[in-house]
Structure 1
Amino acid sequence: MSIFTEYSLWFVPLCIIIGLGIASVLYYRNSQSSIYPTHIIRIAFVLRTIFVSVLLFLLLAPYIQRTKRDVIKPVVVIVQDNSKSIKMHKDSLYYTGEYLTNLYELRNSLSDAYTTELFTFGERISQTDSIQYTDTRTNISDALQQIHARYYTTNLGAIILASDGLYNTGDNPLYSQAAQTTVPIYTIALGNSNQVRDNVVRDVQHNAIVFKQNPFGIRIFIESHNLQGKQSIVRVYEGKKQVYETRILPKTDNLYTSIDCKLSTTSLGQVLYTVTIEEQHDEITFKNNTFLFTVDVLESRQNILLIYDAVHPDVGAIRRAIESNKNFSVSVYSSKEFKGDVRDYNCLIFHGLPQSFGVSKELTLAAKKYAIPSMYIYNSTMNTSLLEILNVGVGIQKHSGTSDEVQARYEPSHTLFEIEPEIIECIETAPPVFAAYGEYSLGAQSNVMLWQQMQQVQLSRPLLVFFEKDGCKTAFFAGEGLWRWRMHAFKKYGSFSPFDVFINKCVNYLALTQKRELFHVQTAAIITENQDVVFRAELYNKSFEPIENKEIALQIFDAQGKEYPYVMSATQNYYSLQIGKLPVGKYTYKAYVTVDNTKLEQKGSFMVMPLHMEYTQTRANHALLQALSQQSGGSMVAKEHIAQLYDSISRNSSVTPISYTSTHRTLLLDSVWILMCLLALISTEWFLRKFYGGY
């Protein structure tokens, strides 16, 4: 500890001299001082000298400087794999008994020289001493990232990773950012690295949406280990009904194969399929012999009607784009040839319509009358004056019948549906289209997706605008020459896909109609066993204003008919309920509420799927653990030799304490004790002067 001042210390004697001078003038040059006894004069003289000298010294801004040295011990973090795969083998009792005892003893022995912390990880990391091996996913790279993030500002000396090296979520830990640091990673090799006997249904590739009675394909990925010459049957079930069967006969100890098959269903909604492979004697586990998946079965494809006034290359480009989507069935007619009913279609596309009179005008008016979602695409023969009566959200007053060559500029605030950056780039760099020259007006509810742009200058005229009124959606594209965009996509990307996806997204948004209801309840149709079941409900009055003060009763029924009653609580403009995790199985639910003596009810179903990701890999990956240790400067030990890690870490010169020296300054002016002392000095002097008759 040292005392310094902001000014030169040569001023300190001057402070004392001035203090002596003032005290001398007051007590030895003043005639009134003779009334005091000699010893009182001396005492008062000393008090005044000290007071003035200290006061002047404080004007030099003195401060006390303290230097402190802190030694921070290295932090050693133990990260234990808490996933189900650890207990998959026959030595599961070892991991719940002797192994944990050895792990805790290692932590205690390290605690003398290091700061030790214990974490478990699976799908996420947690700081706890409870190791139960219950997590259904393993993310090693995220665990390492989290440790580095939490101890970034500390003396992180080493990480001890206890795992079987198997991960099914996240990146390869060898290439994660955490593995590239200088912190050594010591690994404890758990599990069995020998290949065991096992049949595995690793994965099933399938479409998320299929159509009723339409065949759809699935691809089953099978692995068979140490079962050479053993025939196994692969079956597919729809519910409890078997719909497919085949046999495999491994000719080697390790078989990796895939099976393609066609399925069809007459059911609707979420349909559960089960793929199984025959269980063989002495398999390590049977939990990976089954794979469940669901498909959403729709009644039929969306029917799209494309009507044109005259043959145009844009019609062909739009048709081919829609035909690339197997969820759409497109019919193409000229306005004079079409004899059907527009109500048989989910979406109408008018190219060059409406015209001033005739069938084309009647077709567009019928689309408005029956509230059929429609898209209008401009060409030079279109009667744009009729657009306003068709509720397309835009009006055009053409000037002199001329057109402008314009490019597209994407509107960033567009949120009706998502557009990938590649598609936006393709559109904005595409050749210009011909847009009507004139004055454009937008409706209050219009949603512009593309603006017109000329020579890098964005105009206030829309190129593609969406509009919705009374539940009916419309769109208007104000340009002629879409076929150029499709050719540009192929030239730039080697594929028509960017253009086709763009058209299909527009059509899908229009064709997807949602009935607005006073009471709406929703939850995820498919939930894995490690996820919470969450419900959300919306309740409105007849003016579609939110109602927030009702109690919504919710009943959930499992496959055996057992009821679970709940009440949904209001949260701002909606109701929500988080139930937590439910056992694997199919559930139905019924929600109801009474509004103005009217009972509103919603029904639905959801499925909790098992998560067997931890059982798809049965052979421990000790090579990954070894590479991770060598890459970071650590080492790997077998689970039976955990105690060796203490010596390994102790010998590592990089795992050492860090010494910090810190300097702290304290101004004497901020000291309350200095103030109290000064007050005591001047108060004592004042008392003596008054007591002996001074003033």
Structure 2
Amino acid sequence: MSSETVIYIIISGIIALFIALFQYKYKAKLKHKTHTVIFTFLRFLSVFSVLLLLVNPKFNSVKYHTEKPNLVILADNSSSIKHLKRDAQTVRIFNSLKNNTALQNKFNIATYVFGSDLKASDSLQFEEKETNIHAALQQIAHVYKNTNTPTVLITDGNQTYGNDYQFITSRFKQPIYPVIVGDTVTYTDIKIEQLNVNKYAYLKNRFPIEVILVYKGNATVNTKLQIYKGATVVHSEAVRFSKANNSKIVNLTLPANSIGTNTYSAKLVPIENEKNTINNVKNFAVNVIDQKTNIAIVTNILHPDVGALKKSIESNEQRAVSIVKPETYVAQQNDFQLAILYQPDADFKHVYTLLNSLNLNRLVVIGTKTNLAFVNENTSAYSHELLPQIEEYQANFNSNYVPFQIDNIDFESFPPLQSNYGSVNFYVPYQNILTKRVGDVATKESLLATIENESRREAVLFGENIWKWRAQSYLNTKSFTDFDNFTGTLVQYLATAKKRNRLNVDFESFYIGNSNVVINAQFFDKNYVFDTRETLTITVTNTKTDVKTEFPLVLKNNNYQVDLSSLQAGSYNFTVKAHTANISKSGSFTILEYHVEQQFLNANVTKLQLLATNSNGKGYFIDSSNALAEDLINDQRYTAIQKSIKTTIPLIDWKILLAIIALALSAEWFLRKYNGLI
């Protein structure tokens, strides 16, 4: 309280006393001296209290309390602990630390468990399928960033995904005390470290597989790598390891003989006395696509190009080519997935009408015998200048071509194509694969271009005698393969039709067991605008047990999404249904069995000890819980802190002062009334 406030209080007391004496000593002149004293006191008390409220002095109040440091007990709840047969020991040390009376007296203890996510819990089940130690420590660091909080980390140190946790100490400023769970003895072990395979393959082709094998041990061992499809061995290969040669990369190819999702299993035959054989097996799957395509070459003329195109395209046995007249194509259009219009003329009128009305993809070859006026009249995508002159052009490859991957098969060395002289004007977006070159002079004119317009794809070759290119490619490489792959890639691009559906479902044909099984869907209204009002559900049926489960799809970031990670490994059929519009779409997928938490044989002692050292903590093995508790209790860095809380209370907040004023005024009135002074 300031001296100025004290002066105001003294003045208030003097004023209150003066008013009381003036009222009852000077003016009233009571007969009884006792009455004068009582009335003067009551008037002084009420007036002085009112004046105190006007002065409103403030009083400081200080409270003291002791704040204990925090202690976080962070336990690994992943299934790898159970796989290493350390679950009972882990539960014992977890309970021992959290129930330790001496630790409770010194610390505020908080318990957490983690797998893929951090959770506040005081119990362990060891059912988490993945481990992210870095994320758990990062969240603890965020929660306790401004406190003195040592962290006890009970784990085997084996992380299945996330950033490397040994570098967390750059942001985690608290000491970490790892309790190392698991076997520290090194055993002889062979395992499949990684398996790389494309998700898709084409029917009757061969698909490549890369298998990375790792060996831990000192002796020389022999084993076999076997690839199973069901119960059948489709590939077997002997493998030899030694201390010096402890890893091997095996590359092989397998045939794609059946359409759909084909599941396989890669297995290393266990060596003698091998403790962990689970990591000897890796399951994988390949979705085999039927690429069978019927293609029509529509032409009115005989030309070597037609035969060259037919042979080149049919080098892929999944494609069949028919050479037909324009009227035959119109009659049999439903039999073909792609039309190649070779040097169209006026007889192609109905062909163009049909293609344009159905918005079908096409490949057009324009040469010296093409009716350019007719082509210009029947296509809106481009027009060719009408000049009678014929020119020969060589090809320049556009390395910046984007729509699909295509290799330069030394186009610059190919003979020139005969083409009509004059420029080509495009009226829609296009991209050049090849541009024209006259001698050494490069032009920007298109020789081979692709167009995508209103979901339709078209390619245009402005030149004939492409048969010479196929022959030159053979002379260059002693094989037709490069040229045939080039035409095959172009045909594949054009034969792929994208249909516009109101309900689109995005899913994988197979999922690895430890990854998130997430299916996305999009629903559009009749104007093909994304509709957020629809209710979508998915019904999933296990093909083996016929058990059906229904899940709702949740709207998330302009997608409807459902997480099916709770499903067990197996094959499933599903149907996604839009209930209001009564539209549905079906499919199937396979969840491959894979236990990433069971791939570990030992605790990661080195990394955990390094984590302890870098954080100014200390590492302990699972049998050292008593030593850990004693070290924490005796560590002088963790001591209780006495803190004070100072609060300022204004007099006006004292309700008792209001009561005093009320009582003083009431008593004065009652006594005056009783004594006949009113």
Same fold per superposition (TM over 0.5)? yes
Change (3 A) 1:653 1:574: closer
Change (3 A) 1:468 1:247: same
Q: Distance in 2 between matches of 1:554 and 1:588?
A: 8
Q: Distance in 2 between matches of 1:114 and 1:374?
A: 76
Match 1:606 to one of 589, 610, 627: 589
Match of 1:681 in 2: 664
Contact 2:201–2:256 under 8 Å retained in 1: no
> What amino acid maps onto 1:204 in structure 2?
L
> What amino acid maps onto 1:673 in structure 2?
I
> What amino acid maps onto 2:51 in structure 1?
L
Match of 2:418 in 1: none
Match of 1:28 in 2: 25
Q: Distance in 2 between matches of 1:9 and 1:602?
A: 85
Residue 111 (1) aligns with residue 104 (2): yes
- CA deviation after TM superposition for structure 1 residue 260, in Å: 1.0
Match of 2:323 in 1: none
Match of 2:113 in 1: 120
Q: Distance in 2 between matches of 1:269 and 1:97?
A: 45
Match of 2:69 in 1: 74
Match 1:164 to one of 156, 166, 184: 156
- CA deviation after TM superposition for structure 1 residue 221, in Å: 1.0
Match 1:581 to one of 566, 569, 591: 566
Residue 137 (1) aligns with residue 130 (2): yes
Residue 622 (1) aligns with residue 605 (2): yes
Match of 1:558 in 2: 543
Counting only pairs closer than 5 Å after superposition, residues 86-235 of structure 1 correspond to structure 2 as 86-89=81-84, 92=85, 95-109=86-100, 110-156=103-149, 158-176=150-168, 178=169, 180-226=171-217, 228-235=219-226
Match of 1:294 in 2: 285
Higher Rg: 2
Q: Distance in 2 between matches of 1:134 and 1:98?
A: 16
Q: Distance in 2 between matches of 1:547 and 1:638?
A: 54
Counting only pairs closer than 5 Å after superposition, residues 321-336 of structure 1 correspond to structure 2 as none
> What amino acid maps onto 1:159 in structure 2?
T
Q: Distance in 2 between matches of 1:19 and 1:347?
A: 112
Match 2:359 to one of 349, 368, 371: 371
- CA deviation after TM superposition for structure 1 residue 594, in Å: 8.4
Contact 2:69–2:107 under 8 Å retained in 1: yes
- CA deviation after TM superposition for structure 1 residue 571, in Å: 7.2
- CA deviation after TM superposition for structure 1 residue 667, in Å: 1.9
**Aligned-residue CA RMSD (Å):** 5.0
Change (3 A) 1:553 1:258: closer
Q: TM-score, normalised by structure 1?
A: 0.65
Q: Which moved more, 1:222-231 or 1:277-286?
A: 222-231
Counting only pairs closer than 5 Å after superposition, residues 113-512 of structure 1 correspond to structure 2 as 113-156=106-149, 158-176=150-168, 178=169, 180-226=171-217, 228-252=219-243, 255-300=246-291, 369-372=357-360, 472=455
Change (3 A) 1:11 1:552: closer
- CA deviation after TM superposition for structure 1 residue 516, in Å: 0.5
Change (3 A) 1:531 1:623: closer
- CA deviation after TM superposition for structure 1 residue 644, in Å: 0.3
Q: Distance in 1 between matches of 2:577 and 2:5?
A: 84
> What amino acid maps onto 1:16 in structure 2?
G
Report the 3-state secondary structure (helix = DSSP H, G, I; strand = E; otherwise coil) of the residue aligned with 2:607.
helix
Report the 3-state secondary structure (helix = DSSP H, G, I; strand = E; otherwise coil) of the residue aligned with 2:221.
coil
Contact 2:513–2:569 under 8 Å retained in 1: yes
> What amino acid maps onto 1:556 in structure 2?
T
- CA deviation after TM superposition for structure 1 residue 662, in Å: 1.9
* Structure 1: gaps spanning 5 or more residues: 305-328, 330-338, 349-356, 376-382, 393-416, 418-440, 447-465, 476-503
Give a deviation string over 1:44-94, Cα, whole Å, max 9, x none: 2212212222222222232221112222111111222222333334xx2xx
Q: Distance in 2 between matches of 1:103 and 1:76?
A: 13
Q: Distance in 2 between matches of 1:363 and 1:62?
A: 101
Report the 3-state secondary structure (helix = DSSP H, G, I; strand = E; otherwise coil) of the residue aligned with 2:666.
helix
Match of 2:7 in 1: 10
Change (3 A) 1:263 1:530: closer
Change (3 A) 1:123 1:574: closer
> What amino acid maps onto 1:111 in structure 2?
Q
Report the 3-state secondary structure (helix = DSSP H, G, I; strand = E; otherwise coil) of the residue aligned with 1:8.
helix
Give a deviation string over 1:540-564, Cα, whole Å, max 9, x none: 88777969788968351233x4222
Match of 2:55 in 1: 60
Give a deviation string over 1:165-213, Cα, whole Å, max 9, x none: 222211221212x455442111222212222132211211222333333
Change (3 A) 1:116 1:70: same
Give a deviation string over 1:2-48, Cα, whole Å, max 9, x none: xx369532211101111112222322332xx2477543343222122
Contact 1:201–1:290 under 8 Å retained in 2: yes
Instruction: Determine what percentage of the aligned residue pairs are the same residue.
Output: 21
Match of 2:322 in 1: none
Change (3 A) 1:41 1:267: farther
Report the 3-state secondary structure (helix = DSSP H, G, I; strand = E; otherwise coil) of the residue aligned with 1:160.
strand
Q: Distance in 1 between matches of 2:507 and 2:588?
A: 9
Residue 39 (1) aligns with residue 34 (2): yes
- CA deviation after TM superposition for structure 1 residue 266, in Å: 3.3
- CA deviation after TM superposition for structure 1 residue 246, in Å: 1.0
Q: Distance in 2 between matches of 1:182 and 1:166?
A: 22
Q: Which moved more, 1:525-534 or 1:124-133?
A: 525-534
Change (3 A) 1:291 1:359: farther
Match of 2:638 in 1: 655
Q: Distance in 2 between matches of 1:208 and 1:553?
A: 24
Report the 3-state secondary structure (helix = DSSP H, G, I; strand = E; otherwise coil) of the residue aligned with 1:104.
helix
Change (3 A) 1:248 1:608: same
Q: Distance in 2 between matches of 1:289 and 1:133?
A: 23
Q: Distance in 1 between matches of 2:653 and 2:229?
A: 81
Q: Which moved more, 1:16-25 or 1:566-575?
A: 566-575
- CA deviation after TM superposition for structure 1 residue 533, in Å: 5.6
* Structure 2: gaps spanning 5 or more residues: 296-318, 320-328, 364-372, 383-402, 404-426, 430-450, 459-488
Aligned residues: 537
Report the 3-state secondary structure (helix = DSSP H, G, I; strand = E; otherwise coil) of the residue aligned with 1:283.
coil
Q: TM-score, normalised by structure 2?
A: 0.66
Match of 1:318 in 2: none
Q: Distance in 1 between matches of 2:668 and 2:593?
A: 88
Change (3 A) 1:669 1:100: same
Contact 1:136–1:611 under 8 Å retained in 2: no
Change (3 A) 1:14 1:579: same
Q: Distance in 1 between matches of 2:588 and 2:74?
A: 40
Q: Distance in 1 between matches of 2:180 and 2:76?
A: 11
